[in-house]
Structure formats: structure tokens, C-alpha cells
Amino acid sequence: MASITIKNLYKYFPPSFALQIDELMIKEGEFFGIIGPSGCGKTTLLRLITGLTAPDRGEIWLNGREITKTPPEKRNIGLIFQEPRLFPHFTVEENVGFGLKMKKSRRRDIKAKIDEALEMVGLTGFNRRYPSALSGGQKQRVALARALVLEPKALLMDEPFSALDPELRVEMRFLIKKLQQEKKITIIFITHDREEAFTLFERMAVMQEGKILQTGTPLHIYNQPQNIKVANFLGINNILPGYIEGNYFYTQGFRILLGAANQNQTAKYLLLKPESLKIVNGEEDARPFLTGTIEEITFQTGFYHIKVKVQSQSLNIIQKYQPGKNFTPGAEVKILYHPEEIILL
């Protein structure tokens, strides 16, 4: 498996889209993610790395060798799409072995390699099945085996699990994580699912409008987003404009106490993570608080998502379900916050 380096890469699609990446380095054996909103250029970046799209300028290096002009089939980079793209009239075995056959490998080797790849993806014994007799998750496992059997230098995955139902998606995430750790595969994985990003990636790049806004571990980016676009994309959606004076950040109609490290800066925005806020009904707590009125409540797998109006602004709060504790729209509530968990930008 190999490292991938990108230098000054530029691709323009008339009339208005340009991808521009000054520098990006993906380490050998790294599980690297690319996240960003629809249309920001994630797929274009993958296509440039595999050679399916040619850049206007810039360089792509694979394992210390420049491959910018190398044809796709000579790069040996595996590509997995959202849909498995299997040949319907081929069996599982024929689908998985197709690339090896094209490379004119020996028949006995092909059989052994197919069996090994099928075992890796948990499909031992499925050799003779046709795609029509497979579930969505199984088809995507075949697509994975078909890529792995060629022992690619890197595996590029373009939202590979987004068409699967939630349970299967979780199962496939476990599988790919396990394979990546066991085989030390270099993977670049596109998603716009934040949960997927936090589960899978060692490092990731947040893209927007053809550019990389920030690179780092998911946790680092979540805790220190570089700007409000990154923060918002990662789900930190309480972004309050204002200014700092002394120990407080003043925003429209109220103020927030700052932690010791945050005072006397020139920040223009204060960010509150939805899960760092807590609604209390009269319980004693020494933490500073805001008061507001509950606007809206939804319940999602063990958590309440609550919107509370504080003066003219709405705050989003994610709070764990607790038996016996209910929230009602219209109720006046106290919202606790941690001054040390505030992000200033």
C-alpha cells in the first residue's frame, strides 16, 4: 500500500466549478476521509487520483512516483462506487475474478485469490451465486472483493454505503474498518455522513467549493474548527455573532461567560456544541446558565433534539433521554453551559 501526495492540483469545469488543492498528503496505510456538501468536488478529486479525469495542472504522486499522466489501468488504484456495478450475467466468482483474467493471471492462482478475497469480505461459498440472488450489502461486499483481489496500491471509496439501509451501513463500516486495520490498506473514503466520518477516519479533509478548508483528525477538527463553515458542516450549529468584553462574550440580547483561556480575544463568533448544553428543571448546579423557551422537540434514538429560543436566537441542544424527564414546547427552561467547552472564532 502506498502514500498519495497532491501538489497544486487544479481542474476547471466551465462555467463555474474549479477544484484547487494546493497540498494534500495521505500516508501509507491511512484511513483518510473526505467530507463536504454535495457538489464541493469530492468525486472529482477521487477521479483525478484514479486518472479517470485529467487535471488542468498540478501533480499526483503515488508512493514517491509521479502518476499524473499514468493511465488509470496502470495506477492500480481500486475504486468503489455507491452502487456495486456488478456484471449481472456473471457469477460472484466471475465478477471478482474478472480483473485478474484481464491481467492474464494463471487459472489456479485466480481461483485461490478469489476465494481469499471472498473470505476477506465474509462471502465464502458464494462463488456460484448471481448478483440477482444477493442482498444490497452482499453485492457491495462482492464489489469490495473485486477491488481487493487486484491488491490495489490504494482503495478509493465514493460514498460506498450510502445506498444501504442503516443497519447494513453500520455492518459494512465494521467490515471496512477491520479490513483496513488488518491489511493496512490506504483508503480514501468519501462521505457526507458525519457519523461515518467520526467512526472511520484517522484523518480527514473538509471540502467546500472545490477547496480543502481543513485537514486533521475528526476530533481535532470538531474541537477546533477553522471557520464557521467547517463547524456548521460538523454539526456545531449554534453560531452566535458578537464580541468579547472582559470575561464575557456579548451576543444579541444576552452574554456568555468565557473560560479563563478564552478571555481578551478578538473573536467575532462564539460556538456552542449542541451536546455541551444541558436543560435542567430546577436541579442545583453551579454552572453558568441561560434562560429560554422551548420551541421544538424531536426524539432520535435515545436523544432529544431540542430548539430553545434565547432572546432573539435559537439554540440547538442534544440531550440524552432520561426516564421521567420530559420537555414541553413553550416551557421556560434553564440551559447550562461549560465555559471551557466554548469555541471562539
Minimum CB distance to ligand ATP smaller for 7 or for 192: 192
Neighbours of 200 (CB within 10 A): 23
Least distance in angstroms from the C-beta of 108 to ligand ATP: 41
Least distance in angstroms from the C-beta of 19 to ligand ATP: 7
Neighbours of 241 (CB within 10 A): 12
Residues that bind ligand ATP (CB under 6 A): 13, 17, 36, 38-44, 192
Minimum CB distance to ligand ATP smaller for 93 or for 158: 158
Minimum CB distance to ligand ATP smaller for 39 or for 166: 39
Pairing relation of β-strands 248-251 and 238-245? antiparallel
Least distance in angstroms from the C-beta of 18 to ligand ATP: 9
Is residue 218 within 8 Å of residue 201, measured between CB atoms? yes
Report phi then psi at 230, rounded to 5: -65, -45
Minimum CB distance to ligand ATP smaller for 43 or for 262: 43
Least distance in angstroms from the C-beta of 106 to ligand ATP: 39
Q: CA-based Rg of the chain, rounded to a whole angstrom?
A: 24
- Nine-digit cell at 200? 472511520
Least distance in angstroms from the C-beta of 23 to ligand ATP: 19
Report phi then psi at 111, rounded to 5: -60, -45
Chain-centroid distance of CA 187 in Å reads 13
Per the omega criterion (within 30 degrees of 0), is the bond before 15 cis? yes
Distances (CA, A) of 42 to 21, 22, 93, 133, 157: 11, 15, 31, 32, 11
- Nine-digit cell at 154? 490504494
Minimum CB distance to ligand ATP smaller for 26 or for 306: 26
Minimum CB distance to ligand ATP smaller for 211 or for 268: 211
Least distance in angstroms from the C-beta of 44 to ligand ATP: 3
